[in-house]
Structure 1
Amino acid sequence: MTAAFDLQSIALPTGVTLDVAVAGDPANPAIILLHGFPESHRTWRHQIPELARTHFVLAPDQRGFARSSKPAEVSDYTPDKMVADLAALADHFGIATFTLVGHDWGGAIAWMAALTRPDRVERLIIVNAPHPYVFQKTMFDDLRQREASQYIRAFRNPEFEKHIQSIGLSAFFDSSFLRHTDFANVADEKPIYLDQWGQPGAMTAMLNWYRASAIIVPEMDETPERPAFLNAPFPPLKQPALVIWGLKDAALLPSQLEGLDTLVPDMTLVKVDAGHFVPWEAPEAVTSAIQEWLG
């Protein structure tokens, strides 16, 4: 099957060049889709052609992933850098405001972009990605979520790439997905993942997203000081938001939805019978939820 989109290489003033899947009529309303770890624009392979019927669709391979630029420093992967990439990408296409969709790490960037750039993000769609306040709070108050997030501590270990090297990318693929999805869901994509992960510097760049994050993930028996922002009011989201949540997610537990309605006053919640990788585990459910909500 031929791809239903162009993959364009776009140099941004933020200093990175990103590969971007582009589909649909530029005269239509814009929608930007942000993938998470350890993926690429292909997270959205089922949604792009459907959304392109009514929208101008952009789905970048974010910095550090696939064949997009991989800056060398951990500090190049703090979330504000990706928010800047997003704004620059919209500027490149002359897009003033857009609907923003994010899954996993892409969703973390989408939350931040919507909170800090309400002038650009008109509507927000989140697919299994934790709100920054809720996620940090559950690291302290929900030991099950803390346990489910211990992999972040492993990813932050500077020796982790040596572990991947010792087992090989194929075994890392099997271990990273088989805990979260049925292998049949990703078997066809495996060669694409291995090609993307095998690009020079890709694995370190992808892991640097975790290393650059300010989120505190305590050890299981640790009681570090609570971040001050957890004890202060957190600004509610101004935009309407659709939250699509796969309830079988082993990495992000249902506690991520607790109190979310207060932080997101104009929220529509759609629960899906799927695991973490909802966009391709339950593609029809995700696409139809987005289309219905966009109206």
Structure 2
Amino acid sequence: MNTGIRGRRRTAAVIATAGALALSVLNAPAAQAQDTGIVVTDLVINNGKPVVVGTSRVVEPSFTFDMTLPPGYDTNHPLRYDAQPFLYQRSVLSPEVQLSLRTCYEVSLKKAHCEGTLSIDPDPSQGQIVSNRDATKWKIGVALALFKANGEVVQEFETRPGGVSLRRAAKLTVADVTPEPVAKGKKVTVVGKLTRANWSTHKNGPYAGSSVSLQFRAKGASTFKTLKKVTTNSAGALRTQVTASTDGFFRWVYYGNTTTGTATSGQDYIDVR
């Protein structure tokens, strides 16, 4: 038996469509929820970072966890047990964010290491993200099941401390600089626009009143430096003036907040003569 990290024996590979769990743990016909004896440890979702979601693209945050099996169960029989993490807001029995893909590897006869992804689809028909109120910290749960030889299913739903923050995706247009070229010591105007996902309309909309950093990287330099902070107007527009001193690249950077992800614009090169 191989119990190392490299060359580990796969015990189970589970693929599910968005919103439906492959082994139907959440819908298994158990008479009563019971203690399965399965112990899930070291559960980490999206590497502990917030999950940023836009208006159309399906996002699949990663997860990893270790699973220890109860007496009478071992990794030689992976179809007799199951463990699936999920995210929910309202009821642990009706999670909005469920499994997309999962693979488990044998660590020992009684322990497996599992990794995979969840599925978050902003399409309103999926019922996962329905309004901007969903940009908050979501609760974490784990669905556990044992499949007995007599056909009985023992099922358990665990809640976990902490949570996972879902944030609205932000976008910045290229930092457009005029005039170009420009004489050294003269003023240039830099414009741009900040938008973010509106989960109520499922379109991107202007993000007003937000502080955005204007940054510059001199030609030949490796890092950007912040020149100033500019606040977006009611249309999400950015506009400011700076003095041209040397050739280089301008960009906008938005650092995000508790409801909105970060964003970095494309760069615009300025030729100073």
TM-score range (shorter-chain normalised) is under 0.3
Larger Rg over CA atoms: 2
Q: Which has a greater percent of helix?
A: 1
